[in-house]
Amino acid sequence: MGTLGDVYAYQQDTVKSIETLEKVVTMRFSDLDLHRKLANVYAQNSRYYNKGIEEARYVLSQDPEDDDTRLLLARLLAWTEQYDDSIKEYQTLYAKAPNDEDLYLELIRTRIYAGNTDEVIAELVQKLNENPARTEVRLALGLAYREAEEFALAETTYRQVLEAEPANGNAHLGLGDTYRETGEYEKAALEYREVIALTEDRQVEEEGVEGYYNPNTSAAYYGLGVIDRKRGDYEKAVVMQRHVLDRDPGNVNAFAELSYNHYLLSRRYIAVTGEYRRAWWLLANSWGISTASTASTRPTSNKCDASSRTTRGMWKSATCSLRSWPPITVTKRRCGNTSVS
């Protein structure tokens, strides 16, 4: 069964892999390698991040010197916005490997998301004064400026990267996010489309995994979807978020955006036709919710009565009243060098 779990993981079918490995771990609980595998598979689906944290912590309780698992834990803590704990794990690793540039940059980004932008900006500016050619450091500086809402400086920093590397997808994505946050949607859309042109469907050759797409592609489609929603083009926004979910089925932000756009479409339908029952049927079917009990009765409760589908404080998908259901606010999720919101 362990081998079958590996096959499912190789094929990116994380749910089946998780189910298989959980059964194996139950039977062979003392096998630490199985716990490591399970933690890594949990990390591939955002709905299982908290389980991944628990599993990684168990492994470290048995093997405190397992740096690979500690790095996984640090990332999972950052992805679930537990930044202080994440920083502690990163600092433990960085103390052992002070010359690891990639590890340093992950630590820097986590510190940025934790709100330590002023000290990080000063640190990165100093490093660039020492060596202006460090592209990844400059990208991190652009992120720090953007998180500090210094958007003009963020734009300048990303453009400095693009002057040296016109095909740098991270710089185009960061610039797109910057324009989106300042409401310059046309400019943002141009940058997102450039990202897609650079990365569309190009599989990353990472340990031979098939079906692995560059995360920048998903982030660009997500950004385009948010822009379409803000412009009121909900149908197009739905298409963009489906592009994200085709590549990253566990992306809870894209799922929340998709569901919210369906809700907005149903509200528009009600405003035009006044047909609540038909709007509810369309909305429920768009989520795959059974309508057997709702097709003939318009919902009136303001309370959600379906099971929660939420991760990292995301909006809950549930059966709620169309008339009283308030709009959601989608929180930020970090994607690589950038954030999406």
Q: Does the residue 69 lie in any domain?
A: yes
Q: Does the residue 248 lie in any domain?
A: yes
Q: Are residues 325 and 195 in the same domain?
A: yes
Per-residue pLDDT at 301 exceeds 70 = no
Q: Does the residue 117 lie in any domain?
A: no
Mean pLDDT across the chain? 78
CB atoms within 10 A of CB 186: 8
Quote the pLDDT of residue 248.
80
Quote the pLDDT of residue 270.
73
Q: Does the residue 123 lie in any domain?
A: no
Q: Are residues 69 and 191 in the same domain?
A: no
Domain count, the chain: 2
How large a percentage of the chain has pLDDT more than 70? 72
Q: Does the residue 160 lie in any domain?
A: no
Q: Give the end of a domain, one of 43, 58, 81.
A: 81
Per-residue burial over 91-125, b if 16 or more Cβ lie within 10 Å, else e, is: eebbeeeeeeeebbbbbbbbbbbbebbeebbebbe
Quote the pLDDT of residue 235.
92
Q: Does the residue 120 lie in any domain?
A: no
CB atoms within 10 A of CB 283: 23
User: 96: which residues sit within 8 A by CB, 6+ positions away?
Assistant: 67
Q: Are residues 321 and 202 in the same domain?
A: yes
Q: Are residues 63 and 194 in the same domain?
A: no
Instruction: Average the pLDDT over 268-283 and give the result.
Output: 68
**Of 296, 294, 338, 303, nearest to 324 (Cα)?**
303
Quote the pLDDT of residue 341.
44
Q: What would the two tokens of residue 4 be?
A: 């079958």
Q: Are residues 225 and 333 in the same domain?
A: yes
Highest mean pLDDT among 20-29, 200-209, 275-284: 20-29
Per-residue pLDDT at 300 exceeds 90 = no
Per-residue pLDDT at 267 exceeds 50 = yes
Per the model's pLDDT, the better-predicted residue between 333 and 30 turns out to be 30
Q: Does the residue 108 lie in any domain?
A: no
- pLDDT tens for residues 139-150? 999 999 999 999
User: 176: which residues sit within 8 A by CB, 6+ positions away?
Assistant: 187, 188, 189, 190, 191, 192, 195, 220, 223
Per the model's pLDDT, the better-predicted residue between 177 and 249 turns out to be 177
Instruction: Average the pLDDT over 251-262 and give the result.
Output: 88
Per the model's pLDDT, the better-predicted residue between 73 and 5 turns out to be 73
Per-residue pLDDT at 1 exceeds 70 = no
Quote the pLDDT of residue 250.
74
Instruction: Average the pLDDT over 182-201 and give the result.
Output: 91
Quote the pLDDT of residue 304.
31
Quote the pLDDT of residue 44.
83
Q: Are residues 196 and 327 in the same domain?
A: yes
Quote the pLDDT of residue 15.
75
How large a percentage of the chain has pLDDT more than 90? 55
Q: Please name the residue ranges forming H helices in the chain.
A: 2-10, 14-27, 32-42, 49-62, 67-79, 83-96, 101-113, 117-130, 135-147, 151-164, 169-181, 185-199, 215-231, 234-247, 252-273, 276-287
For 251, counting Cβ atoms within 10 Å of its Cβ (0-12 exposed, 13-18 middle, 19+ buried), the class is: buried
Quote the pLDDT of residue 13.
61
Q: How confident is the model at residue 111 (pLDDT cuts 50, 70, 90)?
A: very high
Pair 257, 242: CB distance under 8 Å: no
Per-residue pLDDT at 298 exceeds 50 = no
- The C-alpha angle with vertex 123 and arms to 118 and 129, in degrees rounded to 5, equals 125
Q: How confident is the model at residue 337 (pLDDT cuts 50, 70, 90)?
A: very low
Q: Give the end of a domain, one of 62, 81, 100.
A: 81
Q: Does the residue 114 lie in any domain?
A: no
Quote the pLDDT of residue 188.
97
For 264, counting Cβ atoms within 10 Å of its Cβ (0-12 exposed, 13-18 middle, 19+ buried), the class is: middle
Per the model's pLDDT, the better-predicted residue between 333 and 143 turns out to be 143
> What CATH number is associated with residue 72?
1.25.40.10
- pLDDT tens for residues 17-59? 888 888 888 899 999 999 999 999 888 887 889 999 999 999 9
Domain housing 285: 167-341
What phi, psi does 25 have (nearest 5°)? Answer: -60, -40
Per-residue pLDDT at 107 exceeds 50 = yes
Q: How confident is the model at residue 271 (pLDDT cuts 50, 70, 90)?
A: confident
Cα 49 to its chain centre, rounded Å, is 12
Pair 266, 280: CB distance under 8 Å: yes
Q: Are residues 67 and 175 in the same domain?
A: no
Look at phi and psi of residue 340 and say left if phi exceeds 0, alpha if psi is from -120 to 50, else beta.
Answer: beta
Q: Are residues 236 and 336 in the same domain?
A: yes
Q: Are residues 206 and 319 in the same domain?
A: yes
Quote the pLDDT of residue 334.
47
Q: Are residues 40 and 175 in the same domain?
A: no
Q: Are residues 177 and 277 in the same domain?
A: yes
Q: Give the end of a domain, one of 21, 49, 81.
A: 81
Per-residue pLDDT at 325 exceeds 80 = no
Per-residue pLDDT at 84 exceeds 70 = yes
Pair 79, 46: CB distance under 8 Å: yes
